[in-house]
Amino acid sequence: KSDFTLSGRAAAKVVVLGGGIAGLATAYELGKAGYDCTILEAQNRPGGRNFTVRGGTTTTDLYGTTQTARFSPGQYMNAGPARLAQWMVTLDYCRELGVPIEVFTNVNADAFLYNESAGMTAPARYRAAKADVFGYTTEMLAKLTDQGSLDQQLTASDKERLMEFLKDYGDLGGSLEYTGSTRRGYSVWPGAAGQPGVVAGDVPSASEVFASGVGRYFSFEFEFDQAMLMFQPVGGMDRIPYALATAIGARRIQYGSAVTRITDTEHGVTVAYSRDGRARSIEADFCVSAMPPNILAKVPHNLGSGVQSALEAITPSSAAKIGLEYRSRWWETDYRIYGGITETDLDVTHIWHPSYGFHGERGLLIGYYNTGANADSYAPLTPAQREARAVAAGVKIYGDKYRSELATSFSHHWRQFPHQEAAWHSTPGGPDDPRYKPLTAPTGHVYFAGDWLSYMDAWQHGAFSSARTAVTALHKRALA
Ligand code: PHE
């Protein structure tokens, strides 16, 4: 059952610029309604920023550096999108296209938190950090409430219920003190009769807990777009674009085709492009441009200064990842960490444990997923230098196996990647700001789509939603 349908059929010819998620979704939905679509895609694969790196994948960045991934069979790295929330329309496409999904572990009580600048010399486990932060904050609030400090704000029964909640939430003792909790975990886990376990000791003081800054990571898992459960396609995120490409039909997608000029004409659109070094051109009744705005802004066109200044107002952002393949899954055996994310204040920022292949022989960590200045600081390094710096950071948290078990790595920097030059974009004022009107409404016969033109920038949901809006408007006009 489809969630989205264009009712009524049309046969107009449409040229779609870009075979990322927005472009593929456009051609897929229009194709179902009878349109004759052609996608021009500059790269030799579908997906755009939806890009999964496996053994044999080769890239060349804007510095001219070529990498070929040496990952083992079954190991992969989602260089771009890597997680889907349950409400996102991306899951509807997975269902409709038959792309199997599995849980992506976005938060793990046994993953680590490490703030070096706060003086931490060893990582904390999420579960212990949460017990301590919630314990001490609820202790203070419970004591103030109990002393009557909130009597102006609370009725007697409010007060009673708040006290009940705080004692439970913080695991407070009878005297409203937080003195540690089994929620911190055990240094010896409980087992059979005679083995009650040993609760993890060394409860830090309230002052130490607040100084460590670990609490700053907790709200992430409450976010509307990041809360568990999250999902990923089995075998790699690019299962989505490949399934879309199959459904659209291979003959409708022209790879290696970079757009060189867009001309709106009296009755349609002419798009010039180059393929295999040869200048070509295609005519259509309509065009849907689903290229990144920063790349589109460099393409000559006759769509007017409103389009150009809107495109130029939208600025590219940086993000990067390194995949580290290991000869063993030591994070599972030595640390009992099965998926989830370690958060740091180091320049690697986020370290991801794999949510697939548990108990397998090998495994692949994301050694950095960083953004902005942190991503930019790794970009000019050679792949070997990036690896060395990422590993040095990881050793601080996980110890020597982070270096000694490493088999191979592959790093990807979106700002320095041809045909994208951005991980995502900043659209000042949001997509409904009047300055973007020439993009959210058609200009001549040209429509625009992309996550950057939605309220869900940096999510495939935004690309799919934007494509649905563009094809709905185009279809209405074609039928009129
Ligand atoms: N969607 C991307 C991610 O999940 C980027 C992003 C991060 C977007 C956080 C919004 C919030 O990492």
> How far is the centre of ligand 1, averaged over its atoms, from the C-alpha of 341 (Å)?
14
Residues flanking ligand 1, CB < 6 Å = 83, 225, 458-459
Complex-level ipTM beyond the 0.90 threshold: yes
> How far is the centre of ligand 1, averaged over its atoms, from the C-alpha of 41 (Å)?
25
- What are residue 370's DSSP bridge partners? 320
84-85 and 77-78 strand pairing: unpaired
132: left (phi over 0), alpha (psi -120 to 50) or beta: alpha
Rounded to whole angstroms, the Cα distance separating 75 from 243 reads 20
Closest approach atom of ligand 1 to CA 459: 1
- Amino acid at site 12: A
Measured by CA distance, the residue closest to atom 5 of ligand 1 is 458
pLDDT (tens digit per residue) in 74-116: 999 999 999 999 999 999 999 999 999 999 999 999 999 999 9
Measured by CA distance, the residue closest to atom 10 of ligand 1 is 458
Low-confidence ranges of the chain (pLDDT < 70): 1-2
Q: Which tokens go with 403?
A: 């270096």
* Largest Cα–Cα separation, the chain: 86
Closest approach atom of ligand 1 to CA 223: 11
Closest approach atom of ligand 1 to CA 423: 5
Q: What pLDDT, on the 0 to 100 scale, is given for residue 2?
A: 54
CA-nearest of 454, 351, 469, 343 to 402 is: 351
Contact (CB, 8 A) for 59 and 66: yes
Q: What pLDDT, on the 0 to 100 scale, is given for residue 1?
A: 43
Q: Which tokens go with 103?
A: 């849980």
Rounded to whole angstroms, the Cα distance separating 365 from 342 reads 11
Pocket test for ligand 1, best of 87, 225, 355, 455 (most atoms within 8 A of CB): 225
Contact (CB, 8 A) for 445 and 269: yes
Closest approach atom of ligand 1 to CA 319: 5
Measured by CA distance, the residue closest to atom 8 of ligand 1 is 458
For 234-275, give the DSSP string.
TT-TTHHHHHHHHHH-GGGEETTEEEEEEEE-SSSEEEEEEE
Measured by CA distance, the residue closest to atom 4 of ligand 1 is 83
Closest approach atom of ligand 1 to CA 83: 4
Measured by CA distance, the residue closest to atom 7 of ligand 1 is 458
Q: What pLDDT, on the 0 to 100 scale, is given for residue 23?
A: 99
Pocket test for ligand 1, best of 78, 105, 221, 459 (most atoms within 8 A of CB): 459
CA-nearest of 266, 346, 321 to 79 is: 321
> How far is the centre of ligand 1, averaged over its atoms, from the C-alpha of 257 (Å)?
29
Overall pTM surpassing 0.90 (yes/no)? yes
> How far is the centre of ligand 1, averaged over its atoms, from the C-alpha of 469 (Å)?
22
> How far is the centre of ligand 1, averaged over its atoms, from the C-alpha of 227 (Å)?
12
Q: What pLDDT, on the 0 to 100 scale, is given for residue 276?
A: 87
Taking the alpha carbons at both ends of the chain, their separation in whole angstroms is: 27
Burial class (CB in 10 A: 0-12, 13-18, 19+), 230: buried
The sign of the torsion formed by the CA atoms of 87, 88, 92, 94 equals negative
> How far is the centre of ligand 1, averaged over its atoms, from the C-alpha of 67 (Å)?
25
Closest approach atom of ligand 1 to CA 457: 8
- What are residue 353's DSSP bridge partners? 340
Pocket test for ligand 1, best of 87, 226, 231, 427 (most atoms within 8 A of CB): 226
Q: What pLDDT, on the 0 to 100 scale, is given for residue 31?
A: 98
Measured by CA distance, the residue closest to atom 2 of ligand 1 is 458
> How far is the centre of ligand 1, averaged over its atoms, from the C-alpha of 241 (Å)?
19
Measured by CA distance, the residue closest to atom 12 of ligand 1 is 81
